[in-house]
Chain A
Amino acid sequence: MDLKKLREKAAADFKANGFPTTKEELWRFTDVSRVATAEFSNDWKPSDLTFRALDKITVVFENGKLSREKSNFTELPEGICIGSILDLVDPRIGTLADAQSAFVSSNTAFFADGTFIEVTDGAKIDTPIHLIYLADVDGAAFHLRNFISVGKDAQVTVVEEYIGQSGATYWTNAVTEVFVADQGAVDHYKVQRESESSFHFQTLEAQLGADAVFSNHAVTFGSALGRNDIRGKLTGEGGEAICNGLYLLKDKQVFDTHIFMDHAVPKCNSHELYKGILDDKARAVFCGRILVQKDAQQTDAIQSNGNLLLSRAAKVNTLPQLEIYADDVKCTHGATIGQLDETALYYLQTRGIDPVQGHAMLTFAFANEVMDEVKCKIAKVYIEDLVHEWLDQVSK
């Protein structure tokens, strides 16, 4: 289907179905009526926001539009092609993202720009590709569409970072589709630092071939109301999907993470580790669903969700789900919600560490478990800095 027809169909779907309500099982705990009833403009201006480039290659979007001046992707290593999704079209666009979702259909209908990355067979790209989305227009909606395709035995690291102007109210609606061919590897990071009064929704869908690896680390700090929909589709034997994440929420933030891991073939692994720290009146929703289809024997799926509540009014809804139709599988999931371990705090005190400092140490350690598996060193240092910064703010 060409893009024009795809957009028309998506617009019709969106018009017919509208936004989801809390009556729908998948949206039970997240009320999006604030987004549904808000009016968004198409106003545009260049962004005043600054960012820290992680490495040589950056792709910068200013209020939803690619900025070639601020970006740096003219000199690229061999085997990779980067550009605006409007210039580079692939027939697979729109074939992966869940067309049933209102956020996906509105994105498909209205996306104004986004990143296109293609890595050819056998190419191993060492430099991380840093995608930066700056937002500082009050009242705007940004529909961003990204497409990442990695060829056979190819490798790439992509860091998506969303930065917003504090105080600005806007709606980011992003969709990222990732295709990983046989033996390919994608190391994907998402750092969400949107404005504290914004709405942020992203659907990230990845399809993995045989022996392919997709790893995703989603770290969330921002948005008043947000959600990550992450869907992994294991379609070739020996595939491995890792979805880890950290959400650090305060004030009245509401953040929802929905993960759906679809094991369609045998001998695949999937690992999910999600941790959350919640302060003030923040609320987190975590729903992780692992589906092991009938023929997906020898699946190894692990999922765990831990939550640390720092305040009386913070809330968590967690739903770790297993749906299994094959018998020779190893599936486990777990969820915990609680406070810091008193005995650990006491131990630190006996070693001369005061309670405030001990508290900070243990809180960081709780979050840091998610960071242990980060392969990209630059990303790891950057995210750790951000986590420390957040914890410092909270402890004040």
Chain B
Amino acid sequence: MKIEDEKSFDTLTDKEYKYGFVTDIESDSLPPGLNEDIVRAISKRKNEPEWLMEFRLKAYRHWLTLEEPKWAKVEFPPVDYQALSYYSAPKQKADMPQSLDDVDPELLATYEKLGIPLGEQEVLAGVANVAVDAVFDSVSVATTFKKNLEELGIIFGSFSDAVKDHPELVKKYLGTVVPYKDNYYATLNSAVFSDGSFCYIPKGVKCPLELSTYFRINAANTGQFERTLLVADEGAQVSYLEGCTAPQRDENQLHAAVVELIAHKDAKIKYSTVQNWYPGDKDGKGGIYNFVTKRGHCRGDNSKISWTQVETGSAITWKYPSCILKGDNSVGEFYSVAVTNNMQQADTGTKMVHIGKNTKSTIISKGISAGKAQNTYRGLVRVQETAENARNFSQCDSMLIGDRCGAHTFPYIDVNNPTAQVEHEATTTKIGEDQIFYCNQRGLDTEEAVTMIVNGFCKEVFRELPMEFAVEAQKLLGISLEGSVG
């Protein structure tokens, strides 16, 4: 039996990126370029208080002193930061939409197309029990279920609203997990971030809904720089979902987001991402550069932060969702599936920094590489002197489909306390011809068989996703691998 089958390869790689359409909507953008005036203009346009503008300017000035990091195993032509527009918003009739009726129907239709029902009634009628904050280019366009959440004291909405309505909370937490000096892209984000989501779960509240942000890049030549800040106060619990898509364009677009999570004593945060930015075509033309800084801080004892990510999109992914385990007995988890096909490149992983006593972390990473893609796991596990009885388990499995791709594993393990137990395992495999043969024999075609085997390979991660997302993730995996088995 031969897996190689040129015909099916061609027909399948030609399959279009499903979310590649462009919404024809008037947008209000700042001219391309980056300087202090632009930073001020963004801040002004958003009617921000003085301290936030100062934060942006400090970040911008620091950014000028930095150089782009070069250590990741990805290659791309230099980004011209002066050619990008740092602010784009759908033009609005009045200042801000008061209700969904004020939102441009074109926009709502876009989200409809993406399968995100924004009309609350529809949501109520449907099965989804999810509150959504939708971000279109640079601004948050709508938040559903706001009222229901408010009754519980949960603050959930756009970052801009939070700055207006709860400045004290934003000021208290902004930049405390990812400081503005953190790294090149995070610093850039701190200077020019446009919008994003803010969420605060008060003491002892268990958020009854899955909270969700949906990001969409629409306008051409813009960068998207959103900022998510999520705080779970003592004993609070929340599950948060994030999804992303972008239109199909020939040029590369930059996405440099920052996500900060803070878990106080006994709090639990679960953050799930399904990233499906436009990956570029099969020759590597176009696609999103996804340079994201995500970090969670287990500030209080017994807190827990869990990251689950399914990365199928983007031309380049550079992303290391991390946990700082400061509180005693705190737990950090990282479950990841990264799929790269055609010319995609991914350098992704996590950092687990153990500071508190009896802290635990688990890392499960599954990398799947097909076509001519390069897929790298890069992770750090650090056990500080103070972290008595810290425990880490890491497992990084790679799967190669075809002989033109690469799969790499670069873990860094620093242990400074003898009571620590750290284990790391990595394996590399391919789909066995015998496995395919068995499936063929049972009436499954090769394509289905591959999807099934890959889904099995990723099972440990999909299990961690909320149900609706798990279904979507499995479908996505099938789509992104289409054509990989020729």
Contact = CB atoms under 8 A, between A and B. Distances in A.
Contact of B407 (A25, A315, A324): A324
Contacts of A330: 428-429
Given A312-B385, A319-B410, 18 more contacts: A294-B403, A297-B403, A307-B415, A311-B418, A312-B418, A317-B415, A319-B413, A322-B407, A323-B406, A325-B405, A325-B406, A327-B401, A327-B430, A332-B428, A336-B422, A337-B383, A337-B421, A338-B422
Contact of B409 (A309, A310, A318, A322): A322
A310 B429 CA distance: 36
Contacts of B406: 323-325
Interface in A308-350: 309-312, 314-339
B427 A314 contact: no
Contacts of B421: 336-339
B413 A335 contact: yes
A363 to B, nearest CB: 13
B416 interface: yes
B272 interface: no
Given A294-B403, A332-B428, A339 B419 contact: yes
Interface string B392-411: 00000010111111111111
22 contacts: A310-B418, A312-B385, A312-B417, A315-B415, A315-B416, A317-B412, A319-B410, A319-B413, A320-B409, A320-B424, A321-B408, A322-B407, A324-B398, A324-B400, A324-B407, A324-B428, A325-B406, A328-B430, A330-B428, A336-B423, A337-B420, A337-B421
B201 to A, nearest CB: 36
Interface string A234-263: 000000000000000000000000000000
Given A307-B415, A312-B418, A320 B428 contact: no
Nearest to B409: A322
B413 A337 contact: yes
A323 B426 contact: no
For this complex, into which size category does the number of interface residues on chain A fall? Answer: 20 to 34
B399 to A, nearest CB: 9
A333 B426 contact: yes
A329 B419 CA distance: 36
A286 B406 CA distance: 24
Given A25-B71, A309-B418, A317-B414, A322 B426 contact: yes
Interface string B360-400: 00000000000000000000000101000000000000101
Interface string B114-125: 000000000000
Contact of B415 (A25, A316, A325): A316
Contacts of A335: 411, 413, 422-424
A330 B425 CA distance: 14
B212 to A, nearest CB: 35
B433 to A, nearest CB: 10
A312 B420 CA distance: 10
B389 to A, nearest CB: 10
Contact of A334 (B416, B426, B428): B426
A357 B424 CA distance: 30
A297 B385 CA distance: 43
Interface string A179-199: 000000000000000000000
A318 B408 CA distance: 16
A319 B422 CA distance: 13
A308 to B, nearest CB: 9
B422 A337 contact: yes
A334 B424 contact: yes
Nearest to B407: A324
Interface string A278-320: 0000000000000000100100000000010111101111111
